[in-house]
Amino acid sequence: MNSAVDLLPDTISCEKSPALGVRVPVARSIEPDRNILLQHIDTMCASRRFSNFGPIHEALRARLCEWLDADRLGLFSSATSALTVALRAHRVSGEVITTPFSFAASAQVIEWAGAVPVFVDIDPVSLTIDPARVEAAITPKTSAILAVHTYGVPCDVKALEDIAARHQLALIFDAAHAFDARIDSTPIHRFGNATIYSTHASKLFHTGEGGVLVCSDEAMQRRCDRMANFGFDGSGDALECGTNAKMSELHAATGLAVLPKVNAERAARSALRYEYTSALHGIDGISLIAPPIHVKDSLQYLAIRVKSEAPETDNRIRNIICERLLLLGLESRKYFSPLCTDFSYSPKVTVRISGELPVAKRAVHQVLCLPFHSGVDRDTVSVIADTVREVMQQRL
Ligand SMILES: Cc1ncc(COP(=O)(O)O)c(C=O)c1O
């Protein structure tokens, strides 16, 4: 019978092993195609057009509409600015229900909108917001749900859509980790009122800094585009209070020079996920976080979960794995940690915690993102898996 390694897809195209001892970063940006980038820089310099929905911005917008199968989308200076605009454009106020198990941005944008984040617990398997907890947290003050497709694992989109429709709430999805994810071939942005992707340099498809906003409603999409440019209507008048959240020509040019390399990076990461899955298989207490089979994987992160006998030891074991890997020059990242309820500034802002958060509080001590990019090879995965196995066997 073939071993798991023999069954590896032949698309594997990892670079040669970085000799151990050389630092392996947890993430590595795709290097833009320099010829394409330089051509766009030439165009930009010749036309002296550097921002404000210029031709390079519009070219990237058109390419991404095709790539993501979107009828329309807006390009932003970051996912955070796109989320901020989306919340304001949907007139959120009062309370917004969200997950505490996320990057700081998803709670902070609610605070910037002048609303109160209401944190509810997450599902123990998907680690995304638990729809039953969302429903239980709704009050007359609730105006929206901000759900996160954590590590590219989709939320229970149907249940959330149902709740949002019954309670007339805006449903915004933070898909910072879920670029080009699909559920049964349906692009993930087809759910809810608005979906935001991040194109930060740490993301598989990137523009250096940037974000993409897809609204289900055309008028809302135009509104968000306008609000990203001070609310201007094109005649110099501002129809409403906006901000500056536009993507510049240089960032759009970076995106156009990265896009042709996305499929190769996806193929390498797909093979790498297979390598990790095989290498970590059977290690007691270790599981991989990955989307279910009917979901197109965004291949953004390789996150593992450490589960020990007691919650108190999860964190200790996870930290030892992290330290041991670092001694070998292998970076990992405790992502997300801490919870959005537990930043130093958290006690200074008004938030509400609905119910207890036992799942999120445990998960935050269990997760560890491992090096995941085309610069990681099979030998490195073996060393990582051996280190994890050793720590887990000794339950240090
Ligand atoms: C869940 C989540 N939301 C929002 C963001 C913010 O994205 P950006 O850096 O593009 O503003 C991130 C960043 O990685 C994230 O992880």
pLDDT in tens, 40-75: 999 999 999 999 999 999 999 999 999 999 999 999
* Judgement on whether residues 296 and 174 belong to the same structural domain of the protein: no
Is 304 part of a structural domain of the chain?
yes
Percent of the chain with pLDDT over 90: 92
pLDDT in tens, 288-347: 999 999 999 999 999 999 999 888 899 999 999 999 999 999 999 999 899 999 999 999
Separation CA 211–CA 172 (nearest Å): 14
* Judgement on whether residues 150 and 111 belong to the same structural domain of the protein: yes
**Relative to the CA of 148, which ligand 1 atom is closest?**
1
**Mean of the per-residue pLDDT values for the chain?**
94
Pairing of strands 116-119, 95-98: parallel
Check residue 131 and give its pLDDT: 98
* Judgement on whether residues 154 and 266 belong to the same structural domain of the protein: no
Q: How many domains does the chain have?
A: 2
260 pLDDT band, cuts 50/70/90, is: very high
Check residue 22 and give its pLDDT: 79
Check residue 247 and give its pLDDT: 98
* Judgement on whether residues 63 and 197 belong to the same structural domain of the protein: yes
Q: For tokens 């994987």, what's the residue?
A: 297
pLDDT: which is higher, 3 or 20: 20
* Judgement on whether residues 197 and 309 belong to the same structural domain of the protein: no
| Helical packing angle, 104-112 and 79-89, nearest 10° | 40
* Judgement on whether residues 183 and 279 belong to the same structural domain of the protein: no
Is 28 part of a structural domain of the chain?
no
H helix or E strand, kind and range, residue 317: helix 311-327
Q: For tokens 């997950």, what's the residue?
A: 99
Give me the helices (H) in 69-147, please: 79-89, 104-112, 131-137
Check residue 396 and give its pLDDT: 54
Check residue 10 and give its pLDDT: 32
Question: What residue ranges line ligand 1, CB within 6 angstroms?
Answer: 78-80, 102-103, 105-106, 148, 174, 176-177, 198, 200, 211
Domain that holds residue 94: 34-260
Probe ligand 1: pick from 29, 197, 198, 339, max atoms within 8 Å of CB? Answer: 198
Tell how far the Cα of 5 is from the centroid of ligand 1, in angstroms.
Answer: 34
**Relative to the CA of 102, which ligand 1 atom is closest?**
1
Check residue 395 and give its pLDDT: 74
Write the CB contacts of 73 (distance below 8 Å, at least 6 apart in sequence). Answer: 61, 64, 65, 189, 212, 213, 214, 221
Percent of the chain with pLDDT over 70: 94
* pLDDT of 253 above 80: yes
Check residue 2 and give its pLDDT: 34
Is 302 part of a structural domain of the chain?
yes
CATH code, domain with 154: 3.40.640.10
Is 208 part of a structural domain of the chain?
yes
Domain boundary at 260, 283, 313, which? 260
* Judgement on whether residues 55 and 197 belong to the same structural domain of the protein: yes
Distance of CA 35 to the CA centre of its chain: 29
Ligand 1: residue whose CA is nearest its atom 8: 79
Tell how far the Cα of 102 is from the centroid of ligand 1, in angstroms.
Answer: 9
**Relative to the CA of 202, which ligand 1 atom is closest?**
14
